[in-house]
Structure 1
């Protein structure tokens, strides 16, 4: 199907205009590239000559002292925390563990078990007798009796542990960091009269 002459001329005219537009756009893009290149060079010069010294001065005057103060404060806090842990927490934890192990070892002793059994039976009988006499407890048979006995045993064990902790000597549990050197008889001077 062919185009009419009028349409052919319009088509040719549009084609020429499109080619001119593409040529103009190339010129504009080349000019824009030159402007961007010059602008980036000027921005780099400005950054190097004006911005970088200002940033460096601000860093030196304002940021570095704050960072140094923060670092030294963090170091101080870490050292203080470590010292508190070593001086306060660690000895307390080891003391508690030692106490717990001592209680466990003491509980393994047949004499302690026998004494605890006698004390429990005696406390249970006394508590039951007092409760019946005052009318607070009615004499019944059932699991409540054993629950009360269990509570009494736990209370007695707690009181005994607290008394033991209070009366024991903590000074003998810790050994100084310095080793005790044996005294040599040749080094000791004998007083002369």
Structure 2
């Protein structure tokens, strides 16, 4: 392939332009890498100086007290279970087992067989008298009186409450 002199010169100039562009792009990439490294360094410094202390302070202020309270509550529950609940269960199981042992004893069975059970005596209930109705009526009246007193105490009565702001604004408007 034979090229004219003019075309060769154009190609050589084009190659030089491409080489210059390539070197300029390499310089730009080097600068961009340097800026990125410096930005990473600054981000690390900012994190150590600003973010870490704030996170630590937030943890100490919000999380740690709740963790400590939870640990204390868990310790209290453990102590209650170990000191109160388990001994009570142990006592109950021991009592049930001792009752079972006593029930199996031949002497106890012999003593129970000697006992003759009597028929239960049925007691007739008395009818309600006038005093019962009077007492129920008085109890209802007392409950109604207490409910009325509570209602009177807690009802919203706007005329009874006058705020200080209203007194000041009404006196300043009258002047």
TM bin, normalised by shorter chain, reads: 0.3 to 0.5
TM-score, normalising length from structure 1?
Answer: 0.41
Ranked by relative contact order (alpha carbons within 8 Å, sequence separation 6 or more), the top structure is 1
TM-score, normalising length from structure 2?
Answer: 0.45
